[in-house]
Structure 1
Amino acid sequence: MTDSTVSAHRHRLAEFTGRSYDKGRGRLMCAVWALVADPIQRSVLVPPWLRARLLRAFGARIGRGTLIRHGVRVHWPWKLTVGRDCWVGVGAYLLNLDRITIGDDVCISQQAMLCTASHDADDPHFEIELGPVVVGSGSWIAARATVLRGVTIGEDVVVGATALVVGDVPDHTRVLAPRPEERAR
């Protein structure tokens, strides 16, 4: 489904300022994370427990028993909280320009994306819009599902493979991607 309303202006990307975005740490810490620690923690050679320890060293709050698989991308670890006994699957992307908070016993499956930022399509400068993402305890974000900024996923929720979540989801709910025959309608 598309919205037929189109903005009457062209974006002027050269005028983008990022004025509403705070990285949360200084340039040196951001550089050390991006250039050294992030590639190490994503490596297949690093065991899951060591990935969690490295994320903690950079300010993430990671609960006991949580496994972070290889290839997981965390934009800024100091904006991440993960509860106890969670799994974060291979290739998951936690794009946390704002806070991501994950409860206990949560599974974030392979290549799932939690994204806390977007751009204002109606702003000629295309400025950033931020919103935290919260995933309640006992929930499962399945493979290649995407949860967008400002969304709270309740407790014991299943977000099915490839589903796109743009609004809050109440406890004990299933969000499934439309079947191919439903997309054609």
Structure 2
Amino acid sequence: MKSDERPRFQDLSRSKAPPGFRGRSGLIVLLWQSVQQTLFALSPQPAYAWRRWLLRLFGAEVGQGVLVRPTVRVTYPWKVKLGNHCWIGDNAELYSLGPITIGNNAVVSQRSYLCAATHDYKDIIFPLTAQPILIEHEAWVAADCFVAPGVTIGAGAIVGARSTVLRDVAPGTIVAGYPAVFKAKRMPNCASTQLEQ
């Protein structure tokens, strides 16, 4: 490349979706966005069954007794799995360009952001890459946390409020901070086999 030439960037508005982002037409995406901003977001707080039904209608796997607040935002519900009796708090965001799985009895508190995609910084056009997030059963992501792409939060773990989770969290531990680091064991002498029951 000559020194006076600038690199050519990909026009993402006209490009095909990268592998992993295909599978739903633009019309379905637009329909979900419209439903989310109206029928979902404007529903009364106690209308959990209604919001569960809407998520299932658009392909989410939703267990029994799931509590999703009306202000929750889900990018692609067909890439989301919610286990039995999990809770998703007010203004939480499930940026589900990649798969997001939340286990049984797990909690994602208000304003937390689960980001299941990033950009390949080694490529000049920054292509999107999807990386799954797994919140295992009985884990708690407290208020206003960021969970990075590809992270697994182990069974029974707790992420302290306003933490940034950039790597996996071991089962039964408490982490906090920016970036989140180990603080304590949640349950002394707890084994992951006990948590898997």
Q: Which TM bucket (shorter chain)?
A: 0.7 to 0.9
Cα distance in structure 2, aligned partners of 1:54 and 1:156:
29
Q: Helix, strand or coil for the counterpart of 1:64?
A: coil
Cα distance in structure 1, aligned partners of 2:84 and 2:116:
22
1:130 matched to 2:136: no
Between 168-177 and 44-53, report the one with greater CA deviation.
44-53
Q: Helix, strand or coil for the counterpart of 1:32?
A: helix
Cα distance in structure 2, aligned partners of 1:11 and 1:160:
42
The equivalent residue for 2:114 is 114
The amino acid of 2:40's aligned partner reads Q
Cα distance in structure 1, aligned partners of 2:23 and 2:111:
25
The equivalent residue for 1:35 is 34
The equivalent residue for 1:156 is 156
TM-score (norm 1): 0.84
Cα pair distance change 1:125/1:138, threshold 3 Å: same
Cα pair distance change 1:28/1:15, threshold 3 Å: closer
Between 169-178 and 69-78, report the one with greater CA deviation.
169-178
The equivalent residue for 1:58 is 58
The amino acid of 2:129's aligned partner reads E
The amino acid of 2:133's aligned partner reads V
Cα pair distance change 1:152/1:35, threshold 3 Å: same
1:32-66 deviation digits (Å, cap 9, x = unpaired): 10123453212253612211111011111111111
Q: Helix, strand or coil for the counterpart of 2:81?
A: strand
The equivalent residue for 2:75 is 75
The equivalent residue for 2:99 is 99
Superposition deviation, residue 140 in structure 1: 0.3
The amino acid of 1:39's aligned partner reads T
Cα distance in structure 1, aligned partners of 2:38 and 2:75:
11
Task: Identify which of structures 1 and 2 has the higher relative contact order when contacts are C-alpha pairs closer than 8 Å and 6+ apart.
Answer: 1
Once the two structures are aligned, what percentage of the paired residues are identical?
A: 37
Q: Helix, strand or coil for the counterpart of 1:85?
A: coil
Between structure 1 and structure 2, the one with the greater Rg is 2
The equivalent residue for 1:173 is 173
Superposition deviation, residue 173 in structure 1: 1.1
The equivalent residue for 2:18 is 19
Q: Helix, strand or coil for the counterpart of 1:81?
A: strand
The equivalent residue for 1:143 is 143
1:74 and 1:94 in contact (8 A); partners too: yes
1:24 and 1:78 in contact (8 A); partners too: no
1:41 and 1:54 in contact (8 A); partners too: yes
Q: Helix, strand or coil for the counterpart of 2:23?
A: coil
RMSD (Å) for aligned C-alpha atoms: 2.0
Pairs aligned (count): 170
2:36 and 2:73 in contact (8 A); partners too: no
Cα distance in structure 2, aligned partners of 1:145 and 1:23:
28
Structure 1 runs (4+) deviating above 3 angstroms are 10-18
